[in-house]
Structure 1
Amino acid sequence: MLSPHEIATLMLVNSNEHRLESLDPDVLALRHYELVEVRDRGGAAALQISARGRDLLKRLGMDAAR
């Protein structure tokens, strides 16, 4: 079960409007649940929502189309 902070962090990763640290405790939890991934973008690591994360947001009724 995700905490409200973890759900909010998942929404932030999906929006790509905020830069989040990959070692943030909420981000680490989302990575553990395979809801977000760290991707290499031009030599820099970036967080990206996974297919599983997009599916969860859809089931919660949140726009996850990215």
Structure 2
Amino acid sequence: MLSHHELATLMLLRDTGRHMEEFDPDVLALRHYELVEVRTQDRDGSTLQLTRRGRELLQRLHLDGGRLQ
């Protein structure tokens, strides 16, 4: 079960422009649950990205940024 801090972090990472520290405890927990992954880039270092599981979780919770139907 995710804590409210981890869920909030997952929602922040939903937006691609958000920069988070990859060793943040909440980010580490999301990586452990395979909801977030680290993508290595050439010059810019690494970035965090939601995995398919992370996007699916947000969709199931209706927190994917889309409209409710």
Fold in common (TM above 0.5): yes
**Secondary structure in structure 2 of the residue aligned to 1:47:** strand
Kindly indicate which of the two structures has a greater share of residues assigned to helix.
Answer: 1
Is residue 36 of structure 2 the alignment partner of residue 45 of structure 1?
A: no
Structure 1 unaligned segments of length 5 or more: list them: none
| TM-score with structure 1 setting the length | 0.89
Hey, what does 2:4 align to over in structure 1? 4
Structure 1 residues 6, 61: CA separation in 2 closer, same or farther (over 3 Å shift)?
same
Note if contact 1:54-1:64 (Cα within 8 Å) is conserved in structure 2: no
Structure 2 gap segments, 5+ residues each: none
Point out 4+ residue stretches in structure 1 off by more than 2 angstroms: none
Distance 1:58 1:26 in 2: 20
Report sequence identity in percent: 57
Which is greater in Rg? 2
Q: Return the TM-score normalized by structure 2.
A: 0.85
1:13 is matched with which residue?
A: 13
